[in-house]
A and B are shown apart, each in its own frame.
Chain A
């Protein structure tokens, strides 16, 4: 029902020629637990052009990571299951592939960087060995060639003394180094799509910036499309071209990054942005707001989502229609779509 809008949205900021490498349509991943059905990912659609940088933002538990895991078909089953939708990579539907075919896609055409660099590497194998394994598996390289390529990859992610580091074990590397090594492993087979699931959350701030810069630089150099999953709007502003805001398992807004920051249409997005501290205000250079704004209320439990718009209980603009029916995605500006009954009023209010 929203695919037409999606297609338009995808074409919004990208040149029309850019072909979509990844198209997710109507993806629904549900968890069947004792308390009921948890709709972790509920009707998510988006498309990703080659070489594009897309960010998915939202609070903990809004379904960001599950979206990524669903794309790779790594949803823990049971209790989770992808119940509907399609995920097309270069036109091929991944959800209908055999397990063996899917394994050939993972790490080769789509790879993923995880949140925890400290534990995402196997402690008993050397770094080079682990990168080599992926290369031997997907590219049929010999052990020696794979190792040489691993050293090359480590050099690419700017690890000093790559030949020596390749023989070291994860515990001998710092957190930032490990995330670099993970990045090297994820990019070793030159994938079309890189899913980065909060790649900088576990790192300290200076290292975060380095890792983000690195991912972006390599992304541009290798032409990989990136889906960056984060809750950090600062990271989004620095890195993404386009942003999807998720709330309660649903996509509530999608826009080019500048537009999202300048003119958010969904009350949730507005709330999120208002909650970001501003350096100018904090240091007293700008008119100070004494407290950061917060979004009242808490994230609803996914097992017991409110009828209608999931955000309605916390929304200052909520009306009866919001509490009864989930709003349709509508494109309000080129490339900017939103699911809110009052988006027009909010948009009008701003432009008036």
Chain B
């Protein structure tokens, strides 16, 4: 960040192969920092990781969880469901690095397989929520009139209940299963997504480029989907990634309350609930490790969401 030497002639390198002999080395540093001269995909990745270090950490965490979820059977040799009363409530050891629970199941395996449940619910609920939230918000904002009026009252109804309460009510009504948990978590997501998309659509539909598109002969459907929707993408992606964390939390809460993903799927939330009351003093690892998994996953998705918001602003896109 140091200012260039005052006696040097300003010289902007275009990053060509010719070595830069001018005394404007600090310009080079500045340019490198600004991401000039990044040509390769790998160079871009390195640049982005430097520019958004927290986002890089977030992405690494999310990728780690995805990796763990996908390759669960290769990561742990224990079956997360097999019980062994002989080693019930075993402390962390070489054989089971996170200890065992009251039924003698290997906790490490259960945390690893729990990533599958958590991520399936988080991504599933987010996708579902985004899909319907965008549909509702776009229709509501673009069409206006009675469509807007009725959908917004429906959204008001959903928003009147706190996320967890609504998810609980939905989960209780639908009954425990993986798919129902996803639906139950997706529904409370609708209001925030629909509201943001609607607000953006309301201002975007008055933009001159919408009228220009109309004057070019575009249909209303095409204008809404191709010209308005992409302009709402940046806030949508931030909402969606931040929502991943919430979804993981809500899933854990539902499972903690016994309304979430049923047995035999291992769920971080249910692991907590099974052990929190009885074993938290005698076998704290039963609470610490699933709790850490939840915290880390939520932390990672939130960091990633923030970095994506900065990155996806089209004004920061370069031409290559």
Contact = CB atoms under 8 A, between A and B. Distances in A.
A108 B208 contact: no
B314 A120 contact: no
A307 interface: no
B233 interface: yes
Interface residues of A, number: 34
Contacts of B212: 112, 114, 120-121, 182
Given A120-B208, A168-B319, A137 B218 contact: yes
B3 interface: no
| Chain B interface, DSSP helix/strand/loop, else mixed | helix
Interface residues of B, number: 21
Interface in B196-222: 207-209, 211-219
B231 interface: yes
B217 A119 contact: no
Nearest to B215: A112
A217 to B, nearest CB: 22
B317 interface: yes
A149 interface: no
Contacts of B227: 122, 125
Given A120-B208, A123-B231, A72 B315 contact: no
Contact of B315 (A103, A171, A186): A171
Interface string A108-139: 10011011100111111100000001100110
Contacts of B226: 133
A106 B215 contact: yes
A119 B319 contact: no
B208 A103 contact: no
A74 B211 contact: yes
Contacts of A137: 216-218
A112 B211 CA distance: 10
B216 A124 contact: no
Contact of B231 (A122, A169, A185, A186): A122
Nearest to A125: B230
A89 B309 CA distance: 47
B216 A119 contact: no
Given A169-B314, A171-B315, A72 B216 contact: no
A278 interface: no
B216 A114 contact: no
A350 interface: no
A168 B226 CA distance: 18
A138 B217 CA distance: 8
A129 to B, nearest CB: 10
Given A103-B219, A120-B209, A74 B214 contact: yes
A72 B208 CA distance: 15
Interface in A82-125: 100, 103-108, 111-112, 114-116, 119-125
10 tightest A-B CB contacts, nearest first: A107-B216, A106-B217, A107-B217, A112-B215, A119-B208, A120-B212, A103-B217, A124-B230, A120-B208, A122-B209
Interface of A: 72, 74, 100, 103-108, 111-112, 114-116, 119-125, 133-134, 137-138, 164, 167-169, 171-172, 182, 185-186
6 contacts: A103-B218, A111-B216, A114-B208, A114-B215, A133-B226, A167-B319
Interface of B: 207-209, 211-219, 226-227, 230-231, 233, 314-315, 317, 319
Given A74-B214, A105-B217, A119-B208, 17 more contacts: A74-B215, A100-B219, A106-B216, A108-B217, A112-B212, A112-B215, A114-B211, A114-B212, A120-B211, A121-B209, A121-B212, A123-B231, A123-B314, A123-B315, A124-B233, A133-B216, A133-B226
